[in-house]
Amino acid sequence: MSITLITGAARGIGFSMSKLAKARGDHVIAVCRQPSGALKNLGVEIIDGVELGSAEGVARVCAALSGRTIDCAILNAGVLDREILGNVGSKTDGIRRQFEINALAPLVLAEALLPALKDGSKLALITSRMGSVEDNTSGGYYGYRMSKAAMNMAGKTLALDLKNRGISVFLLHPGFVRTDMTQGSGDINADESAELLLGSIDRLTHTDTGTFWHANGQRLPW
């Protein structure tokens, strides 16, 4: 039985990945700040009370793992704000928070999880094509774009540092998904995105470590 850890598991894509991974037979470790009733009903292991932007939250996750190993860690938690040119100066606190949650928190957690990752483990960072410099054709969303670009750099660097340990790192864009974060806008729902993401993680191998993908299988530019 594969052991799969998923952050941001209380709702949205994280919840859907937890549900689908559980249904296929994984032992799911769902990490969240406050579990939803639906998550509690899944019958997965829950590590709650976790604020991933804090040292205490990271320590809580590590303590709960109790020396176990993880086959796959999916770092999915993130936040989105909507800055446009003209209000950036009034939204610097929100931009800093996006950097802390979207870029720094997954890097710190990935480092803390290293004792639980083994040769053959996979580390999947759920990022966004909005963090691609080449793919940016619409502007706006300054904090989210910059924080996801930083996350992409962190993931690429992790892949290089962990390659000789046999730990694979993938950066995955989930698609434009109808969730609370997108205020219900999107092309696909969370279950559809989760199925594509889990399929991508299964498909990708160590030879693909450090690469950036759309959940639909399209290779994305940096």
Assign 212 to helix, strand or coil.
strand
Neighbours of 210 (CB within 10 A): 17
Higher-confidence position of 27 and 176: 27
Cα–Cα distances (Å) from 72 to 40, 154, 166, 177, 186, in that order, read 21, 18, 13, 22, 27
Q: 110 Cβ partners below 8 Å, 6+ apart?
A: 73, 75, 123, 125, 154, 158
Q: What is the pTM of this model?
A: 0.95
Report whether pLDDT(56) > 70: yes
Cα 177 to Cα 183: distance, rounded to the nearest angstrom: 10
Q: Are 176 and 128 in contact (CB under 8 A)?
A: no
Using DSSP, state whether 98 is helix, strand or coil. helix
Worst-scoring range by mean pLDDT, 20-24, 37-41, 81-85, 152-156? 81-85
Q: Residue 123's pLDDT band (boundaries 50, 70, 90)?
A: very high
Question: H or E element: which one contains 155?
Answer: helix 142-162
Query: Which domains does the chain show, CATH number per domain?
Result: 3-214 (3.40.50.720)
Query: Which pLDDT does position 194 carry in this prediction?
Result: 97
Mapping DSSP to helix (H, G, I), strand (E, B) and coil, where does residue 118 land?
Answer: strand
Contact 168, 175 (CB under 8 A): no
What is the pLDDT, as a whole number, of residue 189?
92
Q: For residue 66, name the pLDDT band (cuts at 50, 70, 90).
A: confident
- For 156-181, the pLDDT digits (tens) are 999 999 999 999 999 999 998 977 66
Using only C-alpha atoms, the chain has a radius of gyration, in whole angstroms, of 16
pLDDT score at 181: 67
Q: Mean pLDDT across the stretch 15-32?
A: 98
| Cβ-contact 99, 143 below 8 angstroms | yes
Residues 144/204, Cβ–Cβ less than 8 Å: no
